[in-house]
């Protein structure tokens, strides 16, 4: 008898599974296959400003987990208050991207993590100096040894641990995901209408997959050139191919309500503006105010559970730890 | 019968209570009488860089709760990478201080909280602008209304909430506190010897009370002048009295292992150096290496439970929220 009930329940689940299987956007799945020891170490490193020359800038400075994994600035602030060249993309769900950075120059999160540390305009350090700081801190020496089962700290382990932590930064359980999973009451009529518009207008050609983006590189200004003072040339900087000029990784729309301002130059501060611009320059469409409002309502339904964890407590430096050099 | 057991237990507790009652340093008590709603709101504000002109600097930037409530820099980095004039004191246990800032110019945490927001060298904002940013954020508008039971956001409520959160940032349960409470095994023989030296040498004349400091203002360089390039004149800036020149609020020694570098100018990077300097210029003593090591061991036993809480998730800005101005 109990088995029959279970079988009936399984049958009942099957149709709703089928619902999202045919959709261009899939639910975000909770983090799986995480090396928890690495991720816990990586969490500390993610929050540790001692990976920067100044001792002031950490990964979390520009990918702030209190703020949708971004800094909510047009472009970021780097060492010595340098103005960054491009908008800081969210770290949330970045494990779902085909590559990292706007131009995809890093293959994965591990490769990405090493970039800002050594970028003179960002954390302005070197991998060697960052590693020697960590090697001088007894708490880190012990934790790396426990996590990796051997002595020694190198940039490979550092970036691997940070990447493992970042793999935990997925945001399941948005109202849109609940709807995808079969809960018809999870979205309002306007939000559902916005999703239909999003699909029928062609937005999903680029914004697809679980992250609603991050699966391909696409030209910014497909139908109409995008006007910007920002000199970034996108994927061209990586491939050198003319066809890749102004081609950028399609940003995820997950948690997009939290990750303003929008576009690689951070020029659009509201979703309303961003939706209108995208419609015009990518699709040749002028959304009506009502359509725009419906699409924005749909986009806001993709805000998922934000990462929740205790602030890490960082192991203190020792007397021989190289001192930060904020003003040199 | 049960009452008798209880009475016996109370008698058993009494002697250990007496132990610390006669000591110059008292155990840190867990936070009490907290307005939790205000504190939860204040936690968000404490982490919110939108209280700064740049949108990049929050209270936590210089009083980092992952790093002993300090920034572990000689002096802090302010708006536009300005070099701060003085070492950032820890926020931990600051509710136990007689006044706030090194020179005591703020009477309490609430008054202190307003300072950095409007300081051109720190967050470089104004109270009016900070308030109008908050008033444009629907999540804050709602939360302030729920917490205060009325419409409206003003700097008085903002700083009150931040101060209430800061009152939760006490660090009980250090090994030294366990020892004070009667656990003879909580400290090593060297740590106990260090505490005895700390008392007998006169350190406790200034570093006393639950925070082992923060109870009085004292001249830096009592026996021998303190050599520094730092122009800060301490309490003199507040009172204008010559006698207060170079008189600073005695810093807490709680969690001192985490709050390097030391002194108002952040000149001493190790506890060994700080203890030697203090012995020489405040007490006219030259500690032997063994004495120094014992005092340092004792000081490290005062690291308590660090604040543990989930990173707050900040409510997103709205289309009409004044934009941050990092590069203006």
pLDDT at A12 over 50: no
pLDDT (tens digit, 9 = 90+) per residue, B76-121?
999 999 999 999 999 999 999 999 999 999 999 999 999 999 999 9
pLDDT (tens digit, 9 = 90+) per residue, B119-128?
999 999 999 9
Mapped onto helix, strand or coil, the DSSP state of residue A96 is helix
In the DSSP assignment, the letter for residue B150 is S
Q: Mean pLDDT score of chain B, rounded to an integer?
A: 94
Distance CA A62, CA B54 (A): 13
N residues, chain B: 328
For range B235-257, the mean pLDDT: 97
pLDDT for A17 equals: 53
Active site residues per annotation of A: 122
pLDDT band at A1 (very low <50, low <70, confident <90, very high): very low
pLDDT band at A328 (very low <50, low <70, confident <90, very high): confident
pLDDT for A133 equals: 98
N residues, chain A: 328
pLDDT (tens digit, 9 = 90+) per residue, B29-65?
999 999 999 999 999 999 999 999 999 999 999 999 9
pLDDT for A27 equals: 97
Residues of B in contact with A269 (CB under 8 A): 319, 323
Chain A residue closest in CA terms to B313: A66
> pTM surpassing 0.80?
yes
pLDDT at A205 over 50: yes
pLDDT (tens digit, 9 = 90+) per residue, A95-117?
999 999 999 999 999 999 999 99
pLDDT for B328 equals: 86
For range B291-305, the mean pLDDT: 98
Residues of A in contact with B50 (CB under 8 A): 72
- On whether A59 is known to bind a ligand per the annotation, the reply is yes
Same fold, A33-167 and A175-300: yes
B312/A66 Cβ within 8 A? yes
- On whether B203 is known to bind a ligand per the annotation, the reply is yes
Instruction: Measure Cα distances from A319 to A138, B46, B270 in Å.
Output: 11, 30, 5
Min Cα distance B90 → chain A (Å) is: 14
Mapped onto helix, strand or coil, the DSSP state of residue B100 is strand
pLDDT for B11 equals: 44
Instruction: Measure Cα distances from B159 to B25, B89, B110, B111, B119 in Å.
Output: 30, 18, 5, 7, 15
- On whether A127 is known to bind a ligand per the annotation, the reply is no
Please report how the helices A155-167 and A36-46 are oriented relative to each other, as an axis angle in degrees rounded to 10: 100
B310/A310 Cβ within 8 A? yes
Instruction: Report the percent of chain B where pLDDT is more than 70.
Output: 94
For range A211-233, the mean pLDDT: 97
For range A310-323, the mean pLDDT: 97
B71/A314 Cβ within 8 A? no
Lowest-confidence region among A16-30, A197-211, A303-317, B48-62: A16-30
Q: Is B151 left (phi over 0), alpha (psi -120 to 50) or beta?
A: beta
pLDDT for A21 equals: 76
Residues of A in contact with B53 (CB under 8 A): none
Buried b (16+ CB within 10 A) or exposed e, B151-161: eebebebbbbb
pLDDT (tens digit, 9 = 90+) per residue, A46-83?
999 999 999 999 999 999 999 999 999 999 999 999 99
pLDDT band at A14 (very low <50, low <70, confident <90, very high): very low
pLDDT band at B19 (very low <50, low <70, confident <90, very high): low
pLDDT at A2 over 90: no
pLDDT for B17 equals: 53
Token pair for residue B176? 């030294």
For range A303-314, the mean pLDDT: 97
Min Cα distance B72 → chain A (Å) is: 8
pLDDT (tens digit, 9 = 90+) per residue, B218-235?
999 999 999 999 999 999
Please report how the helices A155-167 and A109-118 are oriented relative to each other, as an axis angle in degrees rounded to 10: 120
pLDDT at B13 over 80: no
pLDDT at A199 over 90: yes
pLDDT at B1 over 50: no
pLDDT band at B21 (very low <50, low <70, confident <90, very high): confident
Instruction: Report the percent of chain A where pLDDT is more than 70.
Output: 94
CATH number of A175-300: 1.10.760.10
pLDDT band at B20 (very low <50, low <70, confident <90, very high): confident
Instruction: Kindly list the domain boundaries of chain B, sorted by start residue.
Output: 33-167, 175-300
pLDDT at A186 over 70: yes
In the DSSP assignment, the letter for residue A207 is S
Min Cα distance A73 → chain B (Å) is: 7
Residues of A in contact with B71 (CB under 8 A): 55-56
pLDDT (tens digit, 9 = 90+) per residue, A171-185?
999 999 999 999 999
Please state the CATH superfamily assignment of the domain spanning residues A33-167 in this structure.
Cytochrome c-like domain (1.10.760.10)
Using CB atoms, which residue from B307, B314, B324 is nearest to A73?
B324
Complex ipTM, two decimals? 0.93
In the DSSP assignment, the letter for residue A260 is -
Distance CA B87, CA B61 (A): 13
Query: How many beta carbons lie within 10 A of that of residue A278, not counting itself?
Result: 23
């Amino acid at each position: 008898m109990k088995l029959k009930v279970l079988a009936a329940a399984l049958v009942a689940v099957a149709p709703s599974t089928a619902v999202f299987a045919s959709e261009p956007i899939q639910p975000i799945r909770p983090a799986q296959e995480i090396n928890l020891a690495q991720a816990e170490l990586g969490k500390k490193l993610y929050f540790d400003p001692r990976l920067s020359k100044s001792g002031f800038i950490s990964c979390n400075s520009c990918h702030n987990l209190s703020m949708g994994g971004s800094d909510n600035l047009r472009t970021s602030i780097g060492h010595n208050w340098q103005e960054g060249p491009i908008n800081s993309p969210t770290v949330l769900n970045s494990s779902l991207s085909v590559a990292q950075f706007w131009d995809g120059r890093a293959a994965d999160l591990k490769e990405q993590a090493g970039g800002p540390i050594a970028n003179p305009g960002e954390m302005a350090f070197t991998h060697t100096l960052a590693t020697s700081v960590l090697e001088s801190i007894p708490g880190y020496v012990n934790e790396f040894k426990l996590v990796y089962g051997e002595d020694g700290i190198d940039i490979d382990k550092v970036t691997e641990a940070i990447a493992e932590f970042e793999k935990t930064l997925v945001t399941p359980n948005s109202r849109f995901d609940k709807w995808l999973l079969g809960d018809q009451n999870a979205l309002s009529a306007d939000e559902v209408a916005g999703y239909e518009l999003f699909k029928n207008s062609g937005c999903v050609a680029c914004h697809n997959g679980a992250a609603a983006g991050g699966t391909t590189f696409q030209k910014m200004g497909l139908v109409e050139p995008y006007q910007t003072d920002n000199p970034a040339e996108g994927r061209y900087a990586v491939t050198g191919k003319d066809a890749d000029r102004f081609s950028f990784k399609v940003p995820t729309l997950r948690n997009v309500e939290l990750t303003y301002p929008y576009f690689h130059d951070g020029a659009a501060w509201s979703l309303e503006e961003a939706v209108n611009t995208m419609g015009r320059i990518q699709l040749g469409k002028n959304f009506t105010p009502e359509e725009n409002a419906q699409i924005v309502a749909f986009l806001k339904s993709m805000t998922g559970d934000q990462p929740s964890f205790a602030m890490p407590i960082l192991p203190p430096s020792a007397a021989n730890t190289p001192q930060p050099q904020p003003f040199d």
